[in-house]
Amino acid sequence: MTAAASEPGLSPALIEAKPRPSTGVLRLYKPYYEDLLRYNFSSRDFIERRDAPEQCFRWLIELDCGCVTDAVTSGHQAAHVQMEELSPADCVFERFLESGKSGASKENLLLFSWGVSWKYSNWDNGYAWCAGHRDDLPVREITEWVERTQRPGHYSEYLGKELGPYASWVVKLSCGHYEYHAMSEVNWRPEQGYAEQADLVAKISRDLVSEDLDAKTKKALERMLVMRSTEPQSREECRYCVYMRRVVGCRPVGQLAKPKPHAKPEESPQPPSRRTLTRRLNAAEANITRLRDQLAQAEHAAARLREERDKASSAPDGTN
């Protein structure tokens, strides 16, 4: 029986899944870690203790959509647990470390962190982003225009013209999720209410009764009628209701990187042998004797000079 098979409560898909090679996972994680250090220089010591590769743990996880993929967790020291005890189900999904074309989690490497949060965040512990399964996002009413940011004008390649400044909003939807890209005219405020787009509604309504519509075009027009009947839009699609998936299984894989070896303590130097100490002592004593002889000679010369000076000072004037 494998180690994975011995984990209780794991699905057959999670037991049979093969983790990516460790070198590939580490290669994807390192650029993220290096950016953390580069852009958070004042917090470098904290980041090295929390997010260094040797402080991270690898997992295979299964989501409630059925996808199985690789994941990495960080922050076990802040959570005061061993790194193998901090599973993705206990952490907040932070980002993809690889960008798959479909947006499905199984084509990405997922990063989970303990204790992270954002303003107006939709994320709870134990959820991850997994797109690519379906495109029919639910339409929700905007119940609150939360925060406004003015954006500069820009050139629209889609429309082929220059657009003026506009306002970007964080809004709260009727499902409870936040959406971060709602737009309005730069001077519009929620208390002004919505303006009906009568001409646009009439045009879409006429198009919908056409017998030449295929099912795909009809569905797109019906969604446009629901979404764009007012200015600004009073409804938004909610991606989170569909793409935010719950972690239902976690299989430990191992540390992301091996711990760095501890530096060996410097060994204390061996004390000199008795013979060496005796030789050094004899040399020191000989040096002391030599210095004493030099001092005695210097004192003798100084005494002679004093004697000659005294004789010169006591002789009668005019005599040598």
Instruction: Convert the pLDDT of each residue in 92-110 to its tens digit.
Output: 999 999 876 778 888 899 9
pLDDT score of 2:
40
pLDDT 10s digits, 206-237? 888 887 888 888 888 988 899 889 999 999 99
pLDDT at 320: 47
String of DSSP letters for 113-153? ESS---TT----TTEEE--SS---PPEEEEEEEEEEEEE--
Q: What is the pLDDT of residue 309?
A: 75
> Is pLDDT at 262 greater than 80 in this prediction?
no
Q: What are the tens digits of pLDDT across the range 15-47? A: 999 999 999 999 999 999 999 999 998 999 999
Extract the runs of DSSP E, i.e. beta strands, from the chain: 57-63, 68-74, 92-96, 110-113, 127-129, 139-151, 154-156, 161-163, 166-173, 178-185, 195-196, 230-231, 235-237, 244-255
pLDDT band at 280 (very low <50, low <70, confident <90, very high): confident
Residue-level pLDDT at 313: 72
Q: Give, as one character, the DSSP assignment of residue 81.
A: S
Give the model's pLDDT for residue 149: 95
Q: What is the pLDDT of residue 6?
A: 47
Question: What pLDDT does 194 receive?
Answer: 95
In angstroms, the CA 83 to CA 50 distance is: 11
- Separation in Å, CA 31 to CA 68, 98, 102, 206: 24, 11, 22, 53
pLDDT given at position 3: 46
pLDDT at 275 > cutoff 90:
no
Q: What is the mean pLDDT of the chain?
A: 88
Average pLDDT over residues 297-311: 78
pLDDT for 77 beyond 90: no
pLDDT of residue 5: 44
Cβ(58)–Cβ(71) below 8 Å:
yes
Residue 110: closest CA among 64, 55, 62: 62
Q: Is it the case that residue 295 has pLDDT exceeding 60?
A: yes
Question: Would you say residue 202 has pLDDT above 80?
Answer: yes
Going by pLDDT thresholds of 50, 70 and 90, the confidence category of residue 302 is confident
Give residues with Cβ within 8 angstroms of 228, minimum separation 6: 197, 200
- pLDDT tens-place string over residues 133-152: 777 899 999 999 999 999 99
- Name the pLDDT band for 155 (thresholds 50, 70, 90): confident
